Amino acid sequence: MIHHRRQLLIPLAIALLFLSVIAIASENTLHHPLKSNPQRENILSYDQRNPIVITHDDNFTGAGFTGLGTIDQPYVLENVEITNDSSYGIEIRNTRAYFEIRNSLIQGDTSTVGEGIYLSNVTNAFFENCTITMKNTGILLQNTNDTTLVGMNLGYRMNSGVLLDASHQCNISHSTFELIYGTSINTDDDSTNMTVEYCSFSKLGIGGGLGRGIYVQANWTVLTHNTIQNATQGIRITSWAFNCEVENNTVYNCREYGMYLVGKQGELDNHTIANNSIFCNGQDGIYALDMANSLFHNNTIHHNGGSGLYLLGNEEAKFNTMTNNTVFNNTLHGIWLYVNMDGNDIYYNRLGWNLGDDGRDDTSLSRENNWDDGVSMGNEWEGWTGNPHNISGAGGDVDQYGVSLTDSMDPQITDPGNVTFKEGTMGNVLNVPYYDEFPSLYAVWRNDTMIQSGNCCLAVITVDLDGLGAGMYNLTFGVMDCTGNANAIEVWIEVLDATPPTIDSPPDRDLEIGSGEEWLNWSPRDDNPDSFILFVDDTPMNSGPWDGGDIPVPLQDTEGMALGPYNVTVFVNDTAGNWNSDTVIVTLVDTTPPTIGSPSDVLYEMTTTGHWINWTAFDYVPDSYVLSRNDTTIDSGDWLGGQLNFSIDGLAEGFYNYTLYINDTSGHWVRDEVDVTVEVNMPGIAGPPDAQLEAFYDSIILEWECTDNEPDYFLMYRNGTLVDEGEWTSGTNITEFFAYRDPGIYNYTLWVNDTQGYTTVDLVWITFEDTIVPAVSSEGDFVYEFGETGNWINWTTWEKYNDTFVVYRNGTEYATGWYASENRGGMSSIEGNVTINVDGLTVGVHNFTVVVYDESGNTGTDTVLVTVGDSNPPLIEGPADFGFELGSTGNSVRWNCSDLMPDHYDVYENGSFAYTHSWDGSDILYDVDTLGLGLHNVTIVLFDVTDNTATDSVWITVEDTTDPTVSFPADIQYEGGSIGHEITWNPQDLSPLDYEITRNRTLVKSGSWNASAETITINVDGLDPGVYEYEILVHDQSGNYATDEVLVTVVDTTAPIITPADDIVYTEGETGNVLSWECDDLYPLTFSIARDDFVIRSGMWNGELIEENVDGLSVGNYNYTLMLMDSSGNWAFDYVWVNVTSPATTTTTTTTTTTTTTTTTTTTSTSTTTTTTTTTTTPPAFDPLIVGIIASVIGIVIVLVLIIKVKKQ
């Protein structure tokens, strides 16, 4: 029968890497939970005490103990600390009182001398939660009984933990032994009945010491539920110890042996080594020398540097039993018998994947070890090919009933979940538990780089995460078992940045008020920047994301800000929540005096009005002003920073000096002087008003009417340039023609003088503005077909002061440029053109609006609507009809398609909508792998944006010419009458239909199957012994089929069960004496009854009660033997003694010896005399010849029954 190899989940490269790992014991820490400890008290402080010595029950109270010393009220001492460098910490001798010492500390000071606790000739001692360090021996018990140690902590620079010398009934539990050079617990051969349970031992023998966990020389020692790691030897039992129980312990990572057991030659050791886990030790898991009559049961032993279980010794090393052990992946052999081992039983074990032999027997040929139970069961072997299974080695033994050891299950790895922690923190450890019956190797990758690998010693992979830098890490955990099954999981580790951002410290600085925008720049840095917040005097002013670069901060005073210091602080944060800050003191200062204008000196004619001095002044922090005239203060007050205006009307003729002082709040000041001359009879001017004209088109005549009694000369300026001058006549206007100017502002200033030297000035402002908007026109709206070219819009423009244009399409800027840029010389307007191409527009109506600007910002607009139409359907070219095989891949329909305005397409399968997708105008490929069996119509409908459509259909035939596949379950053999036996097939096909199951060509089950992942199961319980051929036939919908056959062998190896009948004693002549046997068997066949070696009755047996009447026998002893045989040839017998006595004789017979007591009684009128004679005889042997005859008769009947059954089938 063909079995397909399972595919690994982990890539082959990983598996190869696993295979290359050397099997070295791991140093990882065990993470199996222990049974819960008694609660340790949290002692905040101890009572300092000197060493304690007690030599009598009366000494306890004087030594500070409380209580009465009884079992209900023991003496109690607790919470004390004893530190000394000599002899004992606590010494107690010759006491029988009950006492307890709890929660105390006993230690050496500078050396390791003496014992922490010494008991001699003591009973009823109890110690709990005490710590003993830096002593030669922690606890020494001599001739001491009934001692309990619970929750103790012993270790650190100690040679021994607990030492028993001729002491008994010592119970040690829930205690810790660590950093002990020699042996943690040691007994001599005069001690007995020690129990050690739920204790942990680690880091033993550091520095080259013995480093033993538990060293046993005491009889009846019990070691259970202890954990021993990192020792030289875990458990050592010497030849002086008998009847020890070592169960449920875990021993690993020892430098030599997990357990080292030595028996005593010529004696029975009677040890039980059961339910222990022993792995990853440097040499053998269990080394047993000269062991006899001991049981090794249900131990798990793997990954050890030598053999798993190694037994060797002399001729007396025999009668050991090794059952139900699981021994795999050891460096040498699994179970190894060596030298003169004899009479050992090895069966029901699971042995595999050891680098040497899974089982090896190197005893001499004259020795006999049994590698099966002699009935029907042997061991499970990796690499088993059939029976008899040869055992390697010189012994030449075989396993007659071996079976194959297989493992098809992938390791199970528990996902611990993703992990987040902060960079630089300690104690970050990731534990990943896993489970497999036969784990082999593991590996851990970080970001695709292997960081850890080794043997699967523990049920957890531990990875130290400390020291990782900030970032994301992918950890992949892979586990492979001995058969190559593998599994892997991924865990993401996020290490948060713990380093705060760095930030510089710009120096404090002054900011000149009104100086404009200045910049304050910080240069913080971080690998994972996030955001910043800016504060000014504790008020948040700005915040936002920070990209890790500089943070520039603009500094600018705002209106109303007071001079003085401001606290400017920036906080920067990274993505891990780390932050940093810096503060700069920015002082707003004023070092600039106010500014002040210098008005022109003033000349006016006395008695005229409207004369002012207007000072334009400015400062950011104005304060006050003082005005003086001819050095005399005439005005003062607050200055708000604006213009200061003072009237100078009403002055008498003369000369006046006006001086203005202005001050700011910083104490700066400035001044300006204006001279005012007041005269009489100055020339008079009546000038034209200011005017506003249209640029280029308008003109104006300016006229001034000037009067004076003695006119002299005039000067006329335009924008500061002299344009006219001459003598003037009072009453005759002075004129100026001004016309056709480009846009601008023009100033005419007229000075007139008289012969007395007086001057009058008049100013006129003439503004030429362009208020005429540009003219623009087009040829009107138009339409074109989508895809056509050569489409243009042409606008004609007229404008004197042409400038730029902007074209908008549907409100979005489309084009810009200049228009009509020719020389404008003398032209009243210029014709121009704005031309744009509008090819390539999408279908629809498009609004094109041109805006033309002149130099003055006047605008003219015009709009043209361009309509783009699309009346052409998409183009499509489809393939020819075709077919393909059901389940094949890469089958698709390709349509060659095109359109200028594609939109989307719909696909219909057999008239039903199946799929829709947007379409960019390219060819369309449609996957049809998922079509079912049969003929299918696939139709595509193409749409463009104007809803023009095109369709094409393809006919596709899907055929199925592939036979189904079906799994090949292994043949089955089971014991008749047992249950839970079934055959499971896993058929697969893309179009499943039905199945039939036959047994010996007869239909026993049928039905439909409808999923590729379905299993078909038939129960094969309840069959009579024999061989049955089960065949499955699976069909698919196309008539393809597949078959598989499984042989089911039902065996019967169980002998009939007889409830023994009672022996019968009756007096000759009595009646109603019947032998009655209750018998049972699943397949009963025949029976026979023999009396004194002769068959007296036989026949067919159906499992009923069998009775035999034994009345009518003469006086004597009769042996009745019942022999049963079932249809498989199994037989059983029972014999019964029937003693028939005479009325005066009583005979009593047992099954092992016969005692006949004859009592003779003589009765007279005066007395009775009784004489008793007892003789002992051996019962008659059961004649093998009779057994052979009965077996022959039954055998003939069995042959007949089998012939009948075969014919029926």
Higher pLDDT, 1184 or 858: 858
Q: State which CATH number among 2.60.40.10, 3.10.450.50, 3.90.1150.10, 3.40.50.1970 fits the domain covering 509-589.
A: 2.60.40.10
Query: Is 40's pLDDT higher than 60?
Result: no
Q: pLDDT for 719-729, tens place per residue?
A: 999 999 999 99
Closest CA to 185 of 230, 144, 149, 239: 149
With 70 as the cut, is the pLDDT of residue 72 above it? yes
Closest to 440 in 3D by CA, of 498, 482, 378: 482
Using DSSP's 3-state secondary structure scheme, residue 828 falls into coil
Please choose, from the candidates 1134, 1116, 1114, the residue with its C-alpha nearest in 3D space to the C-alpha of residue 1124: 1134
Bigger pLDDT: 995 or 1171? 995
pLDDT band at 131 (very low <50, low <70, confident <90, very high): very high
What's the pLDDT score for residue 470?
Answer: 85
Q: How confident is the model at residue 15 (pLDDT cuts 50, 70, 90)?
A: very low
Query: What is the CATH T-level fold of the domain 47-404, as seen in this structure?
Result: Pectate Lyase C-like (2.160.20)
pLDDT tops 50 at residue 1193: no
pLDDT band (50, 70, 90) for residue 186? very high
Which two structure tokens, joined as six digits, stand for 83? 């530190």
As a whole number of angstroms, the distance between CA 434 and CA 1156 comes to 70
Q: Which CATH class is domain 412-496?
A: mainly beta
Q: Which pLDDT score, from 0 to 100, does residue 214 have?
A: 97
The model carries a pTM of 0.49
**pLDDT band, very low/low/confident/very high, at 517 (cuts 50, 70, 90):** confident
420: number of Cβ within 10 Å? 12
| Distance, CA of 1076 to CA of 1065 (rounded, Å) | 14
Q: Which CATH architecture has domain 595-677?
A: Sandwich (2.60)
Tell me the mean pLDDT in the region 1079-1086.
91
Which tens digit of pLDDT belongs to each residue from 492-510? 999 988 889 999 999 999 9
Amino acid at 1129: G
Can you name the CATH fold of 1057-1141?
Immunoglobulin-like (2.60.40)
- Chain centroid to CA 732: 107
Domain 47-404 matches domain 775-821+830-869 at the CATH topology level: no
The rounded distance, in Å, linking the Cα atoms of 565 and 584 is 10
User: In terms of pLDDT, which residue wins out, 267 or 844?
Assistant: 844
Query: What pLDDT sits at residue 1138?
Result: 94
Mean pLDDT check: name the lowest of 36-40, 601-605, 729-733.
36-40
8 A C-beta contact, residue 289 and residue 263: yes
CATH code, 875-958: 2.60.40.10
Report residue 708's pLDDT band, with 50, 70 and 90 as the boundaries.
Answer: confident
Listing DSSP states for 859-876 in one string gives EEEEEEEEEEE--PPPEE
Does residue 545 have a pLDDT over 70? Answer: yes
Cα separations in angstroms, 562 against 508, 664, 896: 18, 13, 77
Distance separating alpha carbons of residues 175 and 196, to the nearest angstrom: 9
Q: What are phi and psi of 256, to 5 degrees?
A: -115, -105
**What's the longest Cα–Cα distance across the chain?**
210
Amino acid type, 98 = Y
If one counts every other C-beta atom within 10 angstroms of the C-beta of residue 1105, the result is 9
Position 365 scores a pLDDT of 63
For the domain 775-821+830-869, what is the CATH superfamily, name and number?
Immunoglobulins (2.60.40.10)
Average pLDDT over residues 905-934: 93
- Classify 705 as helix, strand or coil: strand
| Span 1043-1068, average pLDDT | 92
Q: Is the pLDDT of residue 831 over 70?
A: no
Query: CA angle, 599 as apex, 594 and 602 as ends, to 5°?
Result: 145
Q: Which CATH number fits domain 965-1051: 2.60.120.560, 3.40.50.2000, 2.60.40.2550, 1.10.260.40?
A: 2.60.40.2550
Q: Which whole number is the average pLDDT over 784-803?
A: 89
Q: For the structural domain made of 684-769, what CATH number should be given?
A: 2.60.40.10
Per-residue pLDDT for 107 more than 70? yes
Q: Is the pLDDT of residue 5 over 60?
A: no
878-894 mean pLDDT: 92
Q: Please state the rounded mean pLDDT for residues 799-822.
A: 85
498 Cβ neighbours under 8 A, 6+ residues apart: 422, 423, 424, 425, 470, 576, 578
Tell me how long the chain is.
1209
- Mean pLDDT, residues 265-288 taken together: 90
3-state secondary structure of 58: helix
Measure CA 757 to chain center: 105
Statement: residue 1208 has pLDDT above 50: no
Q: Given a cut of 60, is residue 1041 above it in pLDDT?
A: yes
- Name the residue ranges covered by the structural domains of the chain: 47-404, 412-496, 509-589, 595-677, 684-769, 775-821+830-869, 875-958, 965-1051, 1057-1141
559's CB contacts (< 8 A; 6+ apart) are: none
